Structure 1
Amino acid sequence: MKVIHVITRLILGGAQENTLHTVEDQHSLHGDDVTLVIGPSEGPEGTLVPRAMEGGFPVEIVPSLKRSILPLEDMRAYRHLVRLFKERQPDLVHTHSSKAGILGRLAARKARVPVVHSIHGAAFHYGQSRVAYGSYVAAEKYVSRWTEKFICVADAMRDAYLAEGISTADRYVTVYSGFDVDPFLSTQHDRDAIRQEMGFRPDDVVVGKIGRLFHLKGHEFLIESARQIVRKNPRVKFLFVGDGILRQQFEEQISQYGMSDSFHFTGLVPTTRIPELMSAMDIVAHTSQWEGLARVLPQGLISGKPVVSYDVGGAGEVVIPGETGYLLKRDSIDELTTAILELADDQQLRQRLGEEGRRRFADQFRHQTMTEKIRDVYRDVLS
């Protein structure tokens, strides 16, 4: 198959890793003629561009394809994509993310190429202004007319789009976002050495949160909860993996609360280090206010860790109360505190929930499984 993928930023993030795994697998496992089109990757979130450049497939950077709404730049990006699609004449265009999804689908229509769009997280979501929310809904409705299939990372994404009257149910397919599962199953990580490196003692109960230190990621709720948790159980420590614009604010807040000894920030780390850091945790917390289906949830479960998560996006499809973790109301603090304290006090409960998560999801979230299912969608469209 000859396929062009389009995404704005190739930063360290779930949607970007999903896209890159798909492109890499199509190229190396299936022998497809695949091109990756990206915008400039800027900011403190890290980048996957060097990895993409070593993939052996064409990578085209379009300077005007930026995340922000910039009408003149957006028009330049649209024209660039139209020219590219007409020149390369792919069998299919696969768009990812909100901005690239809208511009890419409009360009594919102009170039008369069928297009598939991946919904990694709804373009319209909690935390947006009414104007932004309504504008994205209107834009998605408009371009849905030229979308052959929507690939959703969770059933919750399909439900959100259908609730806004965007297309029809028969054009949605759920394909869970895959990753390299084996490192999370590995028993080779030196858990004790990793914990010691970060200043944790053998009897500490480490609660880990992985994600950009950014708005809507919900670190502030875990910090507020920690004030109660640490008072009741000083053995509980917190590990924040990732970096972002709110790091200084969070560190100052933690210092004001007198909890600096209870928190460790790793800063930006390569994605290859996530499995070993996960092995050092006892509990995985996910307190984002908006997500598609955060990869950290299945990654934590496949690592054999119980997960405490707010009920946002597709979280409820993997975090099953009483079986794999705790599913809580968004923005709740008291419930978050209770869940973490219960897990911290009960090692057998942590083990039981983690083992069930590993049993259920190890095969389902392999990136090879994801790519094969995505190619099935392509076959359906092209037939």
Structure 2
Amino acid sequence: MKVGHVITRLIVGGAQENTVATCVGLRRRGWDVELISGPQTGPEGALDAAMPVTILHELRREPNPVLDAQACRALYRLFRERRYDIVHTHSGKAGFLGRLAARLAGVPVVVHTIHGPSFYPYQNPVGNWLFRWAEQLAAEWTTQFVSVADAMTAQYQAAGVAGKFVTIHSGMNLEPYLRLPPPTGAVVGKIARFFRLKGHEYFFEALPKIKAAVPETKFLLVGDGIYRNKYAGMPAEFVGLVRPEEIPAQIARMSVLVHLSLREGLPRTLVQALAAGRPVVAFDVDGAREVCRDGETGFLVRPGDAAGVAEAVIRLLRDRPLAARMGAQGRELVRQQFGEEHMVEQIENLYRRLTTEIRIPKSEIRNNHP
């Protein structure tokens, strides 16, 4: 089976890590998988794809009618030349252009993964309407949607996006986290870009209340971005940008992880922290509740409620048996549902089902994996 994955850019980020893990995992299982990406990186850093990548210079994140038309034509030519059985798209721009090009090129199966909605409540009304319309239109060219969280399916269906949906949780290599020792001390950590909607303002609003209640608490921030200087001088350790393979060492320093983004598909940092046995506190947005199960693996807080964040963190820091119990329950949850191989196996089974349903002749299937 010949499969082409398309993503807008390969920065260090959850959607990109999910895509690369899927491609590499399928290749290990004998599938003929290729990856196509635009050339851009960002302050997050570039992600090592661990496989050959076709760079499409016309594919850019920012709207540009001329470049977008050129990117669509370039994708169309690639799809025709390479004769993919499946095109699997990711992210907003590559998702729209990739599905349109695949439809025009006659690709038999077109899959799109929803890592996070293109539309969200904090957008301006015109942009929100435009992205909803684009997704409704692109749904007509989509054989199957894959949602990284049930919340993504619910949001798309509520926005009038029709189609077939299946949830396959974003998987990752959990072993480096599962091996970490139990936490010591009182360290509250957050891993996120310093960017709009990432919630650092709520972190720093909660910080004084936490410090007053548990004076020995330290605060650790991992990530970089254009808002970094906005918080210069605040009483926290700023680690900066680290490579994905360095994240376990940073989580090892934490006793509680907070996730305060106002927009997220399935927060990978929640999965990573729970795999390490660290309880979590998260705003109740998007797919957070599918990982942070309130009262079981951590605490969910109303979005924007910094006082509620402080209260939840203080409770975990003061009640170590509760924190240990939640961490252990979280570790078991993610071990069962969020492993990388489990995700790849589900996607492989999905591909087989879809190609069977459209009856691609066996002589045309290019995968020899049994």
Task: Tell me the TM-score normalised to structure 2 length.
Answer: 0.93
Please give the alpha-carbon distance, in whole angstroms, between the structure 1 residues aligned to 2:67 and 2:318. Answer: 54
Is the Cα contact below 8 Å between 1:207 and 1:283 reproduced in 2?
A: yes
Other-structure match for 1:196: none
Please give the alpha-carbon distance, in whole angstroms, between the structure 1 residues aligned to 2:129 and 2:285. Answer: 20
Q: Structure 2: which 5+ residue stretches go unaligned?
A: 357-370
Is the Cα contact below 8 Å between 1:184 and 1:299 reproduced in 2?
A: yes
Other-structure match for 2:254: 281
Provide the alpha-carbon RMSD of the alignment: 1.3
Structure 2 residue identity aligned to 1:22: T
Is the Cα contact below 8 Å between 1:126 and 1:289 reproduced in 2?
A: no
Please state whether the residue corresponding to 1:266 is helix, strand or coil: strand
Q: Could you tell me which of 335, 348, 366 is aligned with 2:321?
A: 348
Give the deviation of 1:299 after TM superposition: 1.1
Residue 144 (structure 1) aligned with residue 117 (structure 2): no
Is the Cα contact below 8 Å between 2:171 and 2:339 reproduced in 1?
A: yes
Residue 46 (structure 1) aligned with residue 45 (structure 2): yes
Give the deviation of 1:363 after TM superposition: 2.8
Please give the alpha-carbon distance, in whole angstroms, between the structure 2 residues aligned to 1:227 and 1:214. Answer: 22
Other-structure match for 1:21: 21
Change (3 A) 1:380 1:361: same
The 5-angstrom pairing of residues 95-134 of structure 1 reads 95-113=89-107, 114-134=109-129
Other-structure match for 2:154: 159
Q: How many residues end up aligned between the 2 structures? A: 355
Please give the alpha-carbon distance, in whole angstroms, between the structure 1 residues aligned to 2:325 and 2:283. Answer: 20
Other-structure match for 1:91: 85
Q: Could you tell me which of 156, 166, 172 is aligned with 2:165?
A: 172
Residue 79 (structure 1) aligned with residue 73 (structure 2): yes
Give the deviation of 1:345 after TM superposition: 1.0
Please state whether the residue corresponding to 2:232 is helix, strand or coil: helix
Q: Structure 1: which 5+ residue stretches go unaligned?
A: 192-201, 255-259
| Identical-pair percentage | 45
- Runs of 4+, deviation exceeding 2 Å: none
Is the Cα contact below 8 Å between 2:181 and 2:252 reproduced in 1?
A: no
Give the deviation of 1:188 after TM superposition: 6.7
Other-structure match for 2:304: 331
Structure 2 residue identity aligned to 1:320: R
Is the Cα contact below 8 Å between 1:298 and 1:361 reproduced in 2?
A: yes
Please give the alpha-carbon distance, in whole angstroms, between the structure 1 residues aligned to 2:84 and 2:114. Answer: 21
Change (3 A) 1:150 1:186: same
| Range that drifts further, 359-368 or 5-14 | 359-368
Other-structure match for 2:363: none
The 5-angstrom pairing of residues 178-257 of structure 1 reads 178-187=171-180, 203=185, 205-252=186-233, 254=234
Change (3 A) 1:103 1:318: same
Other-structure match for 1:199: none
Task: Tell me the TM-score normalised to structure 1 length.
Answer: 0.90
1:28-63: CA deviations, max 9, x gaps?
2x1111110001132211111xx22x42xx311111
Please give the alpha-carbon distance, in whole angstroms, between the structure 2 residues aligned to 1:59 and 1:43. Answer: 18
Give the deviation of 1:233 after TM superposition: 2.1
Please give the alpha-carbon distance, in whole angstroms, between the structure 2 residues aligned to 1:9 and 1:126. Answer: 24
1:302-348: CA deviations, max 9, x gaps?
11011000001111112112111000100111111111111111111
Structure 1 residue identity aligned to 2:103: R
Is the Cα contact below 8 Å between 2:180 and 2:276 reproduced in 1?
A: no
Give the deviation of 1:251 after TM superposition: 1.6
Please give the alpha-carbon distance, in whole angstroms, between the structure 2 residues aligned to 1:228 and 1:135. Answer: 41
